[in-house]
Amino acid sequence: MSELTDQVSSSIDALTKEFEIIAHNLANVSTAGFKRRSNAFSQYLEAQGTGTETYSPGIIELNSAFDFSQGNMVETGRPLDFALHGKGFFVTETPQGPLYRRNGTLFRNQSGQITDSQGRIVAGEAGPITIPNDVGISQVSVSSDGSISASGIAIGKFRLVDFGDNEDKLVPYGENSYWMPDENIQPVAAENIIVKQGYQEASNVKIIDELVDMIMVSRLYEANMKFFSASMEVTNTLISAIMA
């Protein structure tokens, strides 16, 4: 009984974490460039060939991962909004090392450098990209390969990178950015990627799918809690009988 109770307790912890993942996905349904965490528990049930009706309490091991599938393109018309179509990331520079992001909502700082919303420098292939102070934002033009010009004069090119099969090893850093903890894994130049100026890549969260999974997880959590409570009652009854 103790072993089964431990398994159910483990399942409850896993379901709680899964609920938090789904809630986080839903909270970022409107965040540009956001990539959902895959609903690992849904994948687990599918792999087991079962559903909520036939699921029996037991230990669950979950390894959630980011879903880097393409989000829809949303036109904004803003000159410093950039969406990526294809596999790859923008690079931002920090004192701790490079960060990687899909959110291309960018800005110009007081020095004319292109930054993200946190003021971090967006990397160009030859270093920071600086827009001359006498050039208006509306005069900035970016081609599909990430080459940037201002008033017709080339000023740089976005550094766009890809991690290939190691993409799943990226971990969240905050503010919709990721970092690579394994120093032995280095990104390569992204290929077959298109930069679209005046667009944002929408979040790839699908509300209906997340809500369905949330309902399923909630029901399984309730079932496990009932089983756990019942097993605890049996244990308490046995203890009372022994102590009597």
The full set of domain ranges for the chain reads 2-68+204-243, 73-201
Q: What is the pTM of this model?
A: 0.80
Q: Does the pLDDT of residue 120 top 80, yes or no?
A: yes
pLDDT score of 231: 58
Distant-in-sequence, close-in-space partners of 4: CB < 8 Å, separation ≥ 6: 57, 58, 231
Q: How far apart are the C-alpha atoms of 129 and 80, rounded to whole Å?
A: 12
Confidence check: pLDDT of 104 > 70: yes
Q: What is the 3-state secondary structure (H, E, C) of 78-132?
A: CCCEEEEECCCEEEEECCCCCEEECCCECEECCCCEEECCCCCEEEECCEECECC
Q: Confidence class of residue 236 from pLDDT cuts 50, 70 and 90?
A: low
Burial (CB count <10 Å: 0-12, 13-18, 19+), residue 124: buried
User: Tokens 């905050």 appear where?
Assistant: 174
pLDDT at 229 over 50: yes
d(CA 62, CA 52): 17
- Tell me: pLDDT of 50 over 60: no
Would the pLDDT of 46 be above 60? no
Residue located via tokens 């792999």: 47
65 contact partners, CB below 8 Å, separation of at least 6: 37, 38, 40, 168
pLDDT tens, residue by residue, 143-172: 999 999 998 899 999 999 999 999 999 999
Per-chain mean pLDDT for the chain: 85
